[in-house]
Structure 1
Amino acid sequence: MRTTPDNAVHPHPADPAPYIAEHSAAFLAALRDWLRIPSVSANPDHAPDVRRSAEWLAAALTDTGFPVAEVWETEGGGPAVFAEWPSGEADAPTVLVYGHHDVQPAAREDGWATDPFEPVEQDGRLRARGAADDKGQVFLHTLGLRAHLAATGRTAPAVNLKLLVEGEEESGSPHFGPLIRKHADRLACDTVIVSDTGMWAEDTPTVCTGMRGLVDGQIDLYGPDQDIHSGSFGGAVPNPATEAARLVAALHDEDRRVSIPGFYDGVVELTDRERALLAELPFDEAGWLRTAKSHAALGEHGHTTLERIWARPTAEVNGIHAGYGGPGGKTIVPSTAEIKFSFRLVAGQDTARVRQLVTDWVAARLPDGIRHEIRFWGDGTRPCLTPLDHPALRSLVRAMGRAFGQEIRYTREGGSGPAADLQDVLGVPVLFLGISVPSDGWHSVDEKVDLDLLFKGVETAAHLWTELAADWAAEPWPSSR
């Protein structure tokens, strides 16, 4: 979405760009050192590397100037890093930056052109696992902060600055919720900046304003105690495969809306302005379909593709398994069937309520003779959304506009992440500062980051703390602190 730059007049310090240019080589050398650490949280064999990555970052943050930089343990998982640098001014806002230092698995035999943990710079891009997701986007804040200090002449940031860099995001953040609840007092802030997202394109800088939530799980259906002859018993006893198909078919109505009663209760609908701004994005649906390896766009009637993947709740069948699947035929009534499902949620929906709605709906639709068990993969992830008119968001858009020298638009993301945990536990708005683009290849071979965009992110961070402090001084936004 496009936004009109704020007309408020703020005192602009010296341009941080010269400092950034002068120190860019040292910054990249340090980043390459960090990228060489294979901090793959999903592989227990790399647990020592995840710890080494955390310790490396804590040391780097100390070198940056943070008076506090600590490695925080989790319950059996990868350690996180916490750092803090007070502003020294009693009325300064407190900002928490979130990112993660663990990475996806990667190996040369996966198809990488070079060793994924030996960074290579080529054609203005830095290629390595973690270059974009998420070490590059975390590390940009170190040079950005130093440039902020150099440009303003300050000895401490204009805001009370905190960092929390997780070590298990690529493994589903299993211990993140307990970690932030345990340290909620030390993490208390007025807003969170998540640096683990992307932009629309190299020539279309954007700010993400929300992520969908997630509830997923599995339904197991049980009929006869064993597979039985379809000629002798078929048509006279319940068939788990048939009932699985009936459940799946009933999940959506003819307008492709989710049919579960109460599912849409409380959903925060797009405003006319938001819909109009989404429509202005240069969206190539044919190109998007090619990326998706799909042949047609299809979804809830009355909404565009971008609205469906960013701002509408969905229900997806991830898998159906039942009966005989070998060669030829086998005339049976199968004894079991299985459905794997996922629901993406938007602002206004509650994960616990959706789990209960799904549970009740499944139970009400099954006939006698079919036993079932429904399992959810955890409590789910809540959606998060930052209002377009929030003052902190305006500060971020202004800082990014100064760095990129052009108008900034808004997007959302259709996936889910730990940002909602921060929003719920800390009770503050979550903003997203990301400079990665779709071609960077997150989780894929030859992951990379565009160095020009990376340094635009550095410059955004350098401006951001000044912008936030000035806006806060003019009118503090509502805070839980």
Structure 2
Amino acid sequence: MAGDSRHSERAERAAVAALTDSFVAGLCEWIRIPSIGVEPTHHVDVRRSAEWLAKELQQDGWPEVEIWGDGPTLPAVFACWPAADPQAPTVLVYGHHDVQPVDPVERWEHPPFEPVISGDEIRGRGASDDKGQVAMHLLAVKAHLAATGQNAPSVTVKLFVEGEEESGSPHLRKLLEDHRNRLGCDLVVFTDTALHQRDAPTITTGQRGVLGAEITFTGGTDDVHSGRAGGAIPNPATALAKLIAALHDDDNRIQLEGFYDDVREPSTKEREDYAALPFDEREWLARNGGGAQETSGETGYSTFERIWVRPTAEVNGISSGYTGPGLKTIIPASATAKISFRLVPDQHPHKVKDQLERFVAQHTPEGIRAEVSLRGEGVPPYAISPDDPANDAVRTAMELAFDQPVRFARAGGSGPAAVLQQFLGVPLVYLGATLPDDRVHAPNERVVVPLLLKGAEAAAHLWRMLAEADIAKRLSR
């Protein structure tokens, strides 16, 4: 058996290598479709992107391929390739094919939808987030079939690729409900995450949730002359500045009452894994800090812990009064702050909304009218234990592909993992192979092709491993 396993491992790597040229060509073709879901003028391109993916799946031999989405719902692609064994586990791979806008376009070194191959990189919008990783899983299935000599995968593989992730997945719950009978599975593999570093691969075990809000303080109906009324009426900008200043204490802990009551602490093993990851503060700041000179955050936690397992409250923007050139001596009629919270297990957006509203009420002075408006219902956080049996399989598959130990990490950003897991009621694991400095959501996005190939090999191993009786039994516990 051990000899057969080693032969299969070699075969899967060889199969990925043999398919590399066609993989790169196909991904470049897909990147050329400007599927910017948040811009209505590009909705036709989102449809073209879905149709491209559906056609590619059909050409690869997937026996069931469908495009979902009507009316305001941007199209998603669903596909299913049943295993020959009806008792084999069913795995649902999630990704998305819509991409971020390209602004500021003048900062791109090349047209964003004309992919450029530079060394071992593909550069273009969507190369990393998330077309590259979805294409990686298509390659994985082909490599798995080639390596095993089978005409069907060892597990039933389902693919669900939505077209609205970059706009907050506003119709995801409806899509899931409308197609509940097609989405049943034993495990979800979420493929929209990154490795820690190229030479330090990691498996993500969770993403933070997010809740966005606007707070508006209004004092009157019009701006007024500060010489005639200043000091005699409330100033909404000053009042809002005081509220913002009260949002954190000197240890950078958030001052909403009850905010930390539901926060789940990471396990000792997780904190040990984070501490063992390579970290150079200067290098990290240069790549991720946007010009910041020092790290900062909640006292008592490392940088990785602050961005992965601790909640945050950030002021995203403030607007009030006159902001043009020169001086205009007024008291503004209103002031607005945009605020976002990153949430961790087991926080819930609706509870944080209530906490924020109470906090605003407590910090609204006499003569000021406060309004709190939310940007959607928020995205809940999600995390799975590193010790979950499904994570054991992912880690083994990743270590076979990367030829080195793989540690666990989390992602500071947000995604619909919790929505998928709660709706489907099965474990959700992560398998991604991009990098934090791939410049996703920014000009000059890129993806490193050798990492995608290793990710495809890992997934090809995973399909074989999940069909093994002991793993299948533990998944169905």
Category of TM-score, reference length = shorter chain: over 0.9
- 1:446-457 to structure 2, matched below 5 A, reads 446-457=444-455
Q: Secondary structure at the match of 1:412?
A: strand
Does 2:43 align with 1:53? no
The one-character-per-residue Cα deviations of 1:235-289 (angstroms, maximum 9, x if unpaired) are: 4433222221221111112211001111011111122222221111101111222
- Percent identity, please: 49
Q: What is the root-mean-square deviation in Å for CA atoms of aligned residues? A: 2.3
Specify the alignment match of 1:361 in structure 2: 359
Q: Secondary structure at the match of 2:397?
A: helix
The one-character-per-residue Cα deviations of 1:277-331 (angstroms, maximum 9, x if unpaired) are: 1111101111222231101211111111111111100111112223333455444
CA deviation after TM superposition for structure 1 residue 184, in Å: 2.4
Of 358-367 and 228-237, more deviation after overlay is shown by 228-237
Specify the alignment match of 1:261 in structure 2: 257
Specify the alignment match of 1:350 in structure 2: 348
User: Are the equivalent residues in 1 in contact too, given 2:88–2:472 (CA < 8 A)?
Assistant: no
Q: Secondary structure at the match of 1:16?
A: helix
Of 62-71 and 437-446, more deviation after overlay is shown by 437-446
Does 2:65 align with 1:69? yes
Of 330, 337, 340, which aligns to 1:339? 337
1:76/1:432 CA distance change after superposition, 3 Å: same
Q: Secondary structure at the match of 1:476?
A: helix
Structure 2 distance, partners of 1:132, 1:474, is: 31
Amino acid at match of 1:360: R
Structure 2 distance, partners of 1:327, 1:473, is: 66
Structure 2 distance, partners of 1:55, 1:87, is: 25
Does 2:143 align with 1:147? yes
Q: Secondary structure at the match of 2:94?
A: strand
Amino acid at match of 1:70: E
User: Are the equivalent residues in 2 in contact too, given 1:10–1:470 (CA < 8 A)?
Assistant: no
TM-score, normalization: structure 1? Answer: 0.92
Specify the alignment match of 2:25 in structure 1: 29
User: Are the equivalent residues in 1 in contact too, given 2:216–2:335 (CA < 8 A)?
Assistant: yes
User: Are the equivalent residues in 2 in contact too, given 1:97–1:163 (CA < 8 A)?
Assistant: yes
Structure 2 distance, partners of 1:330, 1:380, is: 38
Structure 2 distance, partners of 1:219, 1:421, is: 27
User: Are the equivalent residues in 1 in contact too, given 2:37–2:43 (CA < 8 A)?
Assistant: yes
Specify the alignment match of 1:377 in structure 2: 375
Any stretches of 5+ residues in structure 1 without a counterpart? 1-7
Specify the alignment match of 1:201 in structure 2: 197
Does 2:176 align with 1:180? yes
- 1:88-127 to structure 2, matched below 5 A, reads 88-106=84-102, 110-127=106-123
Of 73, 78, 97, which aligns to 1:82? 78
The one-character-per-residue Cα deviations of 1:213-254 (angstroms, maximum 9, x if unpaired) are: 011110111113433444554444332222212211111122
TM-score, normalization: structure 2? Answer: 0.93
Any stretches of 5+ residues in structure 2 without a counterpart? none
Specify the alignment match of 1:390 in structure 2: 388
Structure 1 distance, partners of 2:108, 2:322, is: 39
User: Are the equivalent residues in 2 in contact too, given 1:148–1:157 (CA < 8 A)?
Assistant: yes
User: Are the equivalent residues in 2 in contact too, given 1:391–1:471 (CA < 8 A)?
Assistant: no
Structure 1 distance, partners of 2:352, 2:337, is: 17
- 1:128-143 to structure 2, matched below 5 A, reads 128-143=124-139
Specify the alignment match of 1:4 in structure 2: none
Amino acid at match of 1:100: H
Amino acid at match of 1:436: T
Amino acid at match of 1:400: M
User: Are the equivalent residues in 2 in contact too, given 1:107–1:115 (CA < 8 A)?
Assistant: no
Specify the alignment match of 1:441 in structure 2: 439
Structure 1 distance, partners of 2:230, 2:429, is: 57
CA deviation after TM superposition for structure 1 residue 13, in Å: 5.7
User: Are the equivalent residues in 2 in contact too, given 1:72–1:82 (CA < 8 A)?
Assistant: yes
Does 2:474 align with 1:476? yes
